[in-house]
Amino acid sequence: MTRYGQSILEIVNCTDEHMTAEQIFFTLKKKFPAVVMATVYNNLNSLYQKGMIRKISVEGQPDRYDKNTRHDHLVCRRCGKLADLNLSDMTAELEKQVGFKIDIYDLKIYYLCPECRKA
């Protein structure tokens, strides 16, 4: 893994935020001033393809990146805010219902966050 890839993996794994590629780029640029955005995109894609990070896609929002640990997400329908949700792993129950092995699942529960409810 390149030094950029390793640093990007550390950035994603050491934050509780769900960072966009642009946010990761600006964080990485503090350590590597010469880095370009294409390098960030290429490394994020590689880390995602290798299963080392998660990519969270929400319609109308830029993709965000997250640690590759078992958890689900709450997504605000209005502002797109993401929050982690720790539900019990449902893989065994899902496999029982569908009758075959499930590699992974990505559960997103949509709601209105408290700030958007007030608006």
Q: Which residues are annotated as a binding site for Fe cation?
A: 72
Binding-site residue ranges:
72, 76, 79, 113, 116
Count of residues for the chain? 119
| Burial annotation 81-102 (CB, 10 A radius, 16+ → b, else e) | bbeeeeeeeeeeeeeeeeeeee
Binding-site residue ranges for Zn(2+):
76, 79, 113, 116
Residue that is written with structure tokens 């792993």 in the block: 89
